[in-house]
């Protein structure tokens, strides 16, 4: 998700653009709208925030739902970018192509997705997939490359997929990696990740490398906390909800793009545009505690009041939030959803 995290660093610039666009039209702008096409993946990476795996429910967004979401949202908002996430988005390749073709009809400037590149195992398939993605309208693709992904995906497969996308003419190619344990941390994961990115840097010169620090949520909370100090309870607020970026999952649940598992509505039950227009983070029973009233430690206090036994320390604010939400979930049905995102 660091591909998207980088966008937050430019949020002030983005919001200024939004304001300018809003002054020129009657529509407000949404910076980023994404569809979580499926929770299934080829891998079960130790760090995955979305708990993607081959064992996840075989539920995926239906074409009719996606078409309805797009018709509704583009009638009421200017959408600057659409992304397709998973799981692994290319597992349902033909459906994905139909999704991209549908988005292209709405003249949305940027259409992209992240992938682990598993489909580069055979040159012929890699070239076929890349050409079809380009023809459908994809103009941005990110490849997840780090110690976590390369535990499952041979680097040569990723190279083939990257090369195929470049040859097919996909304009923007990202390589996305995550560091473990904070800036400058030394461990076997980070050493392996640097080795991987150095190899790719020597071979390719037409990509953008995005490196971010791993946030401890999802599967990382169970497998990777030993790489953090765990000595404090972070007290900083989470300001991401101020930037208009939204994700819709196969169940219809709508989240903020960077914090899945805290829903703001269900687009199968209510128009997506209404859910977004009515969203007020200050009044949301969970998000309001995170942004407006002191940060994730407030969720921790809520959980403690209901019987949660806290850890002596937490890796980061996401670790506090995800731990508290896992405990609080029975108390907030239709808000802390879906079960696919909880341990």
pLDDT by residue (tens digit) across 186-207? Answer: 999 999 999 999 999 999 999 9
The first and second tokens of residue 266, run together, are: 């269900």
Rounded distance, CA 316 to CA 218, Å? 13
Rounded distance, CA 310 to CA 301, Å? 9
Dihedral sign for Cα atoms in the order 254, 322, 182, 238: positive
Give pLDDT, residue 164.
98
Q: Which residue has the tokens 């949020």?
A: 11
Give pLDDT, residue 16.
43
Local structure of 314: helix, strand or coil: strand
> What is the mean pLDDT of the segment spanning 76-80?
96
Residue 59 has pLDDT above 60, yes or no: yes
Give pLDDT, residue 6.
52
Residue 292 has pLDDT above 90, yes or no: no
List, in order, residues 6 or more apart from 317 with CB less than 8 Å away: 234, 236, 238, 295, 296
Residue 32 has pLDDT above 70, yes or no: yes
Burial label for 189, CB within 10 Å (0-12, 13-18, 19+), is buried
pTM equals 0.91
Give pLDDT, residue 234.
77
Q: Which residue has the tokens 């994809």?
A: 138
Mean pLDDT lowest for which of 75-89, 92-106, 233-247, 313-327? 233-247
Q: What mean pLDDT is reported for the chain?
A: 92
> What is the mean pLDDT of the segment spanning 219-240?
88
List, in order, residues 6 or more apart from 312 with CB less than 8 Å away: 230, 231
> What is the mean pLDDT of the segment spanning 256-263?
95
Percent helix, percent strand, percent coil in the chain, to nearest 5: 45, 15, 40
> What is the mean pLDDT of the segment spanning 66-79?
98
Q: Which residue has the tokens 């939004």?
A: 18
Local structure of 264: helix, strand or coil: coil
Residue 17 has pLDDT above 70, yes or no: no
Give pLDDT, residue 21.
43
Q: In the 8-state DSSP scheme, what is residue 149?
A: G
pLDDT by residue (tens digit) across 40-50? Answer: 999 999 999 99
Rounded distance, CA 212 to CA 3, Å? 8
Give pLDDT, residue 235.
77
Q: Helix 188-203 to helix 155-168 angle, to the nearest 10 degrees? A: 40
**CA end-to-end span of the chain, whole Å?**
19
């Amino acid at each position: 998700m660091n591909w998207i995290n980088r966008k937050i660093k430019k949020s002030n610039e983005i919001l200024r653009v939004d304001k300018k666009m809003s002054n020129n039209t009657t529509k407000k702008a949404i910076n980023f709208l994404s569809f979580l096409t499926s929770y299934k993946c080829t891998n079960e990476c130790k760090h995955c925030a979305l708990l993607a795996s081959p064992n996840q429910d075989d539920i995926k967004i239906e074409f009719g739902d996606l078409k309805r979401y797009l018709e509704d949202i583009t009638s009421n908002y200017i959408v600057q970018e659409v992304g397709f996430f998973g799981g692994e988005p290319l597992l349902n390749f033909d459906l994905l192509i139909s999704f991209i073709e549908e988005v292209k009809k709405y003249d949305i400037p940027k259409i992209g997705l992240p992938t682990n590149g598993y489909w580069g195992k055979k040159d012929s398939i890699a070239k076929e997939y890349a050409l079809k993605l380009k023809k459908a309208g994809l103009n941005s693709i990110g490849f997840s490359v780090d110690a976590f992904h390369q535990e499952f995906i041979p680097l040569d497969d990723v190279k083939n997929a990257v090369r195929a996308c470049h040859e097919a003419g996909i304009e923007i190619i990202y390589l996305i990696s995550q560091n473990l344990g904070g800036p400058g941390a030394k461990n076997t994961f980070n050493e392996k990740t640097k080795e991987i990115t150095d190899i790719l840097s020597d071979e390719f010169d037409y990509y953008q490398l995005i490196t971010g620090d791993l946030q401890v949520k999802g599967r990382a909370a169970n497998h990777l906390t030993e790489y953090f100090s765990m000595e404090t309870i972070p007290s900083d607020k989470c300001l991401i909800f101020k930037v208009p970026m939204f994700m819709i999952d196969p169940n219809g649940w709508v989240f903020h793009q960077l914090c899945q598992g805290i829903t703001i509505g269900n687009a199968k039950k209510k128009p997506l545009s209404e859910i977004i227009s009515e969203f007020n983070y200050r009044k949301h029973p969970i998000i309001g505690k995170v942004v407006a009233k002191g940060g994730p430690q407030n969720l921790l206090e809520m959980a403690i009041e209901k019987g949660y036994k806290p850890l002596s320390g937490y890796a980061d604010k996401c670790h506090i939030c995800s731990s508290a939400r896992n405990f609080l979930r029975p108390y907030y049905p239709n808000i802390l959803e879906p079960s696919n995102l909880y341990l």
